[in-house]
Amino acid sequence: MPLTEHQVKAIANDARIALSDNELTSLTFDLNQILETLQVFDEFDLAGVEPTYHPIAGLVNVMRDDVVIPSMPVTEALANAAAHENGQFKVPPILSDGGGE
C-alpha cells in the first residue's frame, strides 16, 4: 500500500521539515519507489530469525580506561603562543559588541 501525500506531510511535520507542494509530490514519489524496492524482502520467511543489532558478531568496546595522567605544563603549552594572559591563550575577539565596527 503506497504512502499518500497526506501521510508524507504528517511525517515531514513531525520531523519539523517544511515542504513545498512540489517537494511533497516529489518526496512522496521517491519514498514510494524506495518502499517498492524493499518489498522484495517480504518474500523471505523470517519466522524464528533473531534480530541482528550489528553485522559483526562479538564486537566489543575497544576503548582504553580513563586514567588521569600528568599533562603538559601550562608554561610549555603557552611557550609558542602569539599572546597569552593569566595562563590562557589570548586571541582576538570574534564577536563584536554591536558598536558598528
Whether pTM exceeds 0.85: no
Domains of the chain are 5-43 (1.10.20)
**Can you tell me the distance from the alpha carbon of 18 to that of 15, in angstroms, rounded to the nearest whole number?**
9
- Give, for all 101 residues of the chain, the pLDDT tens digit: 899 999 999 999 999 999 999 999 999 999 999 999 999 988 999 899 887 776 776 777 778 888 999 999 999 999 999 999 999 999 988 887 766 55
Q: What is d(CA 4, CA 50) in angstroms, rounded to the nearest whole number?
A: 32
Residue closest to 11 by CA, chosen among 19, 21, 22, 20:
19
Query: How many residues belong to the chain?
Result: 101
Distance of CA 35 to the CA centre of its chain: 23
